[in-house]
Structures are given as C-alpha cells and as structure tokens.
Chain A
Amino acid sequence: MTPNEYPGKYPGQLSRVNERKWQSMVLLLLGLVFIPRAMNAQTPSDALMMRSKNICVLFSYDMGTFDRYWEGSYLRSNETIATVDRNTVLPMAAIGIFDDLNFYISLPYVKTESSIPNGGKFAGARGFQDIGFALKYRAVHTDLGTGKFTALATAGFSTPFTNYLSDYRPYSIGSGAPEFSLRAIGQYEHSSQFYLRASIAHLWRGYTEAERDYYYNNGSYYTAWMDVPNAWTYEAIFGKWLFDTSLKLELSYTTLNSTSGDDIRAYNAAQPTNKVEFDRVGFAAQYYLKSVKGLGFVAYHNRVVNGRNVPKFSNTGIGLTYQFNVIKKQTDTTDGQ
C-alpha cells in the first residue's frame, strides 16, 4: 500500500542510504563557522578537516516530502498515503583528534506522517533513528598546479538507537540495520576558490528485524530478518568560496545503487529488502558569521530526479554550527584559529 525508503532518509547519519543528504546536511551544517577553511566544521564526506582539539557542533532541521514514488521503475502517486512528510532534527558533533583525523557522532530524530485526507489512515512514526560514528583521515593535502589537492578516506558505522520498526514503509524512520561504510574522497581546489570534489563509497548494510516471521522477497522467507541491500554511492560536487571565504556555495549530484534486492510490488508497501536506486541534485550554502566567532549557518535543498523503489523526495534544511577549541579554553594555547 505504500512506498519505500527515500533517499532523504538518513540525514545526518554517517553515510546511509542517503549519502547525499547526509552529506549536504552535515557538511553544510557543520561547515562554515570558522575563518580559515581548514578549520571549518566538516562532515565525513567532505574534504574539510578540523584541527586537533577543536569541536564543532551542528544542529539542523530538515523538512522532506514526497507525493510520488517509484514502484520498480514506475513513477506513481498513491492516495493511500497521499503526501508523506518527513521531518528530521539532527544533532551532530565533529571532533578534531589530530589535524588529519576527525571523529564524528550524530543522532537524528525523525518524524513521519501522511497529509490529510489520505485513504490509508495510517499512523506516522517518530523517534530517534540511528546513532552514527565516523572517522575521517586526510591522507594527502598538497599543492598541485595553482591549487590544492586533497585526498581523504572515511570509515563510518551506524546502528539503530531505538527499536523503531523498519518494516513499516513509508513511515518507518530508518532501515533498522547496522551499516558500515568506507568512502574515498578527492578534491581539487583552484586558487580562484572554485573546487571540484568527488567521492565513492560502499555501504555494507546488515539485517533488520521485522515483527513478523514470514515475508515475500521473490520467494518465501521464514524469518523475521530482512537483508538490507548493500549499495555503492557516488558523488560529485562543484563549489565556490565567496566574500573572503565566508560564504560557500555548492552544487551536488549524487547517485546510489543497491547491489541486490527486490522491487516494490504493484500498489503494495515497500519493504527494507527493496533494491534502491536514485539520482539526486542539490544546492547548498554555508555562511560563517564574521561578528560571532565560531558561529555559522547552512541552508540546502535536494531533490531526487530519478530512482527505483524510492520516493521522489525533496528536502530542505537549515542549520546552525558552532565551533570551539576545547583546549584553548583550559590552557590558553593558541592552537586552532
């Protein structure tokens, strides 16, 4: 009766289905507060690093919605669910362990519901989704031509924080499975402050436990465990710093492809075993306040333009980031900015 997981599902989670959203959110949100770019808050999927002993906290609000979804490759509407809204509050922290090694932790709170009227009268869902951790390592940071080349790798892990029901699409707040991800990131920034970034990541997803012990996935399964498909995700970002490195604008293109899974059946509910694919474009802006040191704002908009077994999801978010140097406060060192 209902559709499925959407790409915007895991904002803030360390690279889940929704890499791009997460990325843009975190990135955007975490981002900007500081002066030199190298100190800006970052996300597990961008090329920014925070210096040792710095912490950046992010708090963002994301409004997502869809009124159509792909059933297999067929784009349809469904008045049983009408328009589904998904709102997310994301607290996240980035910690500079070393200048070249950052740690991230995040825990989104998600709320879903259908617009009224709808034909299904289903209750929405809400709750804390998955707690995510990531480590990002900067392996290369060097001058190249008239710009700089940076290469990084990120390892992430996330797992459900509550016993939310993943087998309740499209209202379920997450996929309900642990995920381990490895991401490689490369960025070249020209001296004109235009930059191009690309990343590739593989997402290993575990199993999610349904509350029924039989389901159909191109055949019978006599178990409550559902295999959430692994996925590859690719991303390309074109960005530019403006106004003395206080405003950053980015255009992004993200694609995700599950490596297995089944299609949503005709007019039937989605389930965590579905083969998810999507292409998404996005725009993001980050602004670092000059007047209040360490404070920044982010705003972004993403939309899925093509997909399989996903909602035609669009989401808009705003957020606030604040960065500070923990050691400095205690010891008065001059590390950091």
Chain B
Amino acid sequence: MDNKIFTLFMALGLLLLTSCEKDLPKYTPYEGYAYSELDVDGGNWIPVLEESGASIEVPVPDATDSETYLNELEELKQAMSDITSDQKRAITYWTNNPAVRWNEIALELIAKYNIIPGPNADASYTLPNPANPEGPPAFPFAHPPYACRALAYMSVAQFDGLISAWHHKYQYNRAAPYVLDGDIDYAYEENDIPSYPSDGAVIARASKNILTAMFPLEADYLQQMEDEHLESLLLSGGNVMSDITAGTTIGDAVAETALTRASNDGMKDAQTPKAVSDSIKQAAYDRFGWAWDNLEIPERPVGLTPLFSQVTMWSIDDVESVRPVPPPALDSQEFLDDVEVLKDYAQNMTDEKRRLANFWQDGLGTYTPPGHWNRIANEFIVQYRLNPLQTTRTLAYMNMAIMDSGISCWDAKYYYHYPRPIQMIDGFETIAGTPNFPSYTSGHSVFSAAASEVLAYIFPEEAEQMRAWAEEAAISRVYGGIHWSFDATVGTDQGREVAQYTLNRARADGADN
C-alpha cells in the first residue's frame, strides 16, 4: 500500500516534468519565404550616404554561356552535392532575407555589451576604452545611444548596398543558377530577381564590417558568421561565386562610407570629462535653478554621454530646432501634482502596471529600447514578407529616426538637466533601475515614438498598434517610478516630430513612386 502510493506519486511527478520541456527560441522564428514584391526599379532609389545606385562599380559579369560561368556552375553543383547537415541547417537559418538575421546578431551583441562599468575599489569608475577594448571594462558599453548608432550605421550601409545591388542586378540581368540549370534546386522560394551581384553577400559583408568596428572584440565571431552566411548563399543554389564576390565588393564599399561618417560624427567626444560635465550641469542650474544628481553609491562623476546631443544627425541640421518646451518648475502645481501621481503608482502598484514597466524596461544587459523596436520591426518584416531591399529600407529609416530622436532627447536631457523622481521625493523607491542621466525627456518615449512613426509609415495597417505600443513604452517608465508623466508625454511628441524629418526623406527616395 505504502509503496504503491509512493510509486504513483513519483510517476506523476516525473510525467509532469517531462511533459513541460519548452523550446526556447533564440531568434525570430521564420524561414525563407516568397517576397510580396520585387521592386525592379529599386536600383533607382536614392541612397542615404552613397550618391546613387550606380556609384559603386562592380565588374561586368561573365555571360551565362561563357566557359568561365559554366565552370562556376559546375563548381556550385559539386559543392551542393557534397552538402552536410550543418550546411543545410545554415541555409535554413540564414533564409532569403538575411538582413533580419544580421539585425538579430547586432541585437545580441548589444545585449552582451550593455553592461555598465561598476566602481573600482577606490570608488572611482573606469570607462571603456576603444584603444584597449579588452578592458576591463570591455569596450563598448552598448547603452542606448551607442546601440541606436550602431544599428543606424549598419542599416544604412545595408540599404545603400542593396540599392547598388539592385541597380547592377537589373543592369546586367544575370539569372540565378537555379534558373539557368534545371539540375539545381533553390533552397528558398524561386523568384525572378537577377543574381549578380548577390544581395545576400552585400548584407553579410556590410553588416560584418560595421559590427566589427562597433564591437571589436567580436571580430572572430563576426567573421565566422560571415563565412557561414556566404557559404550558405552559394549552397542555396541562388548564387555562383562571382555573384558573391561582386556582392562583397559592394558591402566593403558601403561599409567604408558609413564608417567614415561614423568616425567623424562626434560620438567619440560624447562621453565628456568631468569638468565639461560639471559646466553643463552648472549652466542648467544657473538657467533653471535645478540640476539632476547621480545618486549611485559611489556617485558616478559623469552622466551618460552628455554630448551625444552634438552627434551629427541624419535628417536634421540643428538639434535645437526640435528641442521641447521646458519642463514644469519644481514649485509649480503641475510638478507637485505629478509627485502625487508617482507616489500613487508606487503605493498602488498593479499587476498590469508592473508588467508594462518590466516589458518595456529594456534595461542593462538587454538589447535596449532601440533594440526592442528593431525586434518588433523584424517580426513585421517577415510577417509582411518584405524583400531584402524593402527590409533594409525599413530598418535604415527606422534606425535613422531612432538615432536622430535620441540625439534630440539627449539635447533636452542635458540642456534642462531635470531631476529624477528618486531625487525629488524623499524615500521614493522604484521597481525599475534609475539610469545615469537626467530625467526630461524620457529616452524610451522618444525612441519609441520615432520608431513607431516609421513603422506606421511602412506598415499602415499596423499604424494604430505601433503608436499605441509607443505610448505604452512611454508610460511604462512612469509606472516604473523613474520618470515624470511629462517626461513621457512630451518625449512622445518629441519623437514623433523628429521622425517626420526622416519620413520626409523616405517619401522622396523614389520607393513610393
């Protein structure tokens, strides 16, 4: 009797355990798909940094009846006949829209490097140093300004590269191997897009080059990913080697253009010495009678990137032209009322408010709010079956808008230097971590509003949802106890306004014609 009960109990327990093994996804669950359209005129669209789709030259390809090309085809068939299961898995993983995969790689590196340096034993802090990337602390600290900038440069290079690829594809019209040779089966959905130069190779090389510059310690990993990707382009039956070589030529060129801009965009001066930081703070105090203080122990001497506001914007000449109105004075009724709102949220935390605060927190160790919006974009991109050119256009404009909005937000943060709730409310405690920079306006609000506007433009059916999510992300920071209500509402307006400059550019690039 005893034995039976015990055995039954254990059997039930084990059954329960084995029945709940979960498959935890490590990337967006999609495979190759048929594009919703081909954009045969895409080579005429206006690039962001390059002059035109024709400005990067590639060699005239060998004709498909030339001996050289026929040899390439034979080599391809030979390679495909020896394919391994790992290579097949790689083909499935990379898909025929690999810009999404490279975007995910960027998000993963952001999450890996979004680690704030802790204090030294003597209470000082050491900053990551690109000249000594191993550290400690390792370079970079991939905080939201760093993250949005890395994503913008990668996406812009990808987009410019694909405009160039589209130009040459339809200039030379060299068909894909699987079209030319009936013995070759394409791993993805067949289409009529010419295969020279390989758009996948453009994406692989441009992404790898940008990310290697942004995350120097990951050079080996990124090279390995590029090698695997380029090999899968070949083994998919979609490209011969000369398609890929032409693609990497374009990838190198657009990455160089983007990295040249990056090296001179002002980011290297964004994290100021303490003297500069102190003078910025003093200027705000003189102007408004308040200043934000870092309350960490030991105190961090300089806030995060005080001069990110001076980084060159993509679509706006003067950052001050989009600066929001001043926040309420600390003795105003609006401010005092908001203190009560914050206290009320903290004292009456609900499951739903807590869920939103955590869902949109995207704090240290994660892909940051810009990363979260890239993840959202990736999911809609595959849902709407965008082709690679449309994919990179979406990501480029979204990340340009996010970066511009971040620059504008940082301008407001350090111009107004407004205190955080924990500084102004005695004994106040939060459920989210208070970041190392001033309160007004909320970075989450501005980033999210800008991203949602671009996604609303690309996916008009989703516009309402996008804007609702942006507002949710904004108010989540108030629920978390780390922002005032007006940080969120004004920040949302700010992000929407800044995004219009990018959208004006998008509407004029030729894609909507």
Contact = CB atoms under 8 A, between A and B. Distances in A.
Interface stretch (A87-95, A208-216, A286-294): A208-216
B10 interface: yes
A137 interface: yes
Contact of A219 (B26, B116, B431): B26
Contacts, number: 139
A1 B434 CA distance: 11
Given A210-B358, A216-B112, A268-B365, A123 B430 contact: yes
B297 A220 contact: no
Contact of B24 (A120, A157, A223): A223
B448 to A, nearest CB: 15
Contacts of B510: none
Contacts of A165: 354, 358
Contacts of B481: 123
B433 interface: yes
B68 interface: no
Q: For chain B, which range describes its interface: under 10, 10 to 19, 20 to 34, or 35 or more residues?
A: 35 or more
Contact of A222 (B6, B20, B359, B375): B375
B359 A211 contact: yes
A78 B118 contact: yes
Contacts of A121: 295, 422, 428-430, 434
B297 A221 contact: no
Given A212-B361, A219-B108, A122 B6 contact: no
B343 interface: no
Interface in A297-318: none
Interface in B5-21: 5-6, 9-10, 13-14, 16-17, 20
Most chain B CB within 10 A, of A79, A97, A98, A211, is at: A211
Given A78-B118, A180-B16, A122 B136 contact: no
Given A182-B10, A216-B365, A211 B433 contact: no
Contacts of A213: 359
Interface string B96-134: 000000001001100110011111000000000000000
B32 interface: no
Contacts of A163: 351
B6 A123 contact: no
Nearest to B300: A119
A268 B364 contact: yes
A75 interface: no
A120 B433 contact: yes
A207 B22 contact: yes
Contacts of B10: 155, 182
Contacts of B119: 79
Given A79-B298, A157-B13, A163-B351, A222 B117 contact: no
A269 B364 contact: yes
A135 interface: yes
B339 to A, nearest CB: 15
Contacts of A223: 22, 24-25
A216 B359 contact: no
Nearest to A182: B10
B301 interface: no
A269 B433 CA distance: 10
A123 B431 contact: yes
A241 to B, nearest CB: 27
A216 B136 CA distance: 20
Interface string A92-128: 0000011011000000000000000111111110000
B384 interface: no
Contacts of B431: 122-123, 168
B276 to A, nearest CB: 24
B2 A118 contact: no
Contacts of B108: 216, 219-220
Contacts of A204: 17
B26 A221 contact: yes
Contact of B372 (A1, A214, A219, A267): A214
A79 B125 CA distance: 14
Contacts of A225: 22, 24
A216 B366 contact: yes
Nearest to A98: B2
A206 interface: yes
Interface string B133-154: 0001100000000000000000
A220 B107 contact: yes
B358 A167 contact: yes
Contacts of B189: none
A57 interface: no
A226 to B, nearest CB: 8
A118 B297 CA distance: 7
Nearest to A134: B9
Interface in A157-184: 157, 163, 165, 167-168, 178, 180, 182
B359 A117 contact: no
Given A267-B117, A268-B115, A269-B365, A220 B27 contact: yes
A266 interface: yes
Smallest CB-CB A-B distances: 7 pairs: A267-B118, A119-B297, A211-B358, A79-B297, A123-B429, A216-B111, A119-B296
7 contacts: A121-B429, A123-B346, A123-B431, A182-B10, A211-B355, A213-B359, A266-B115
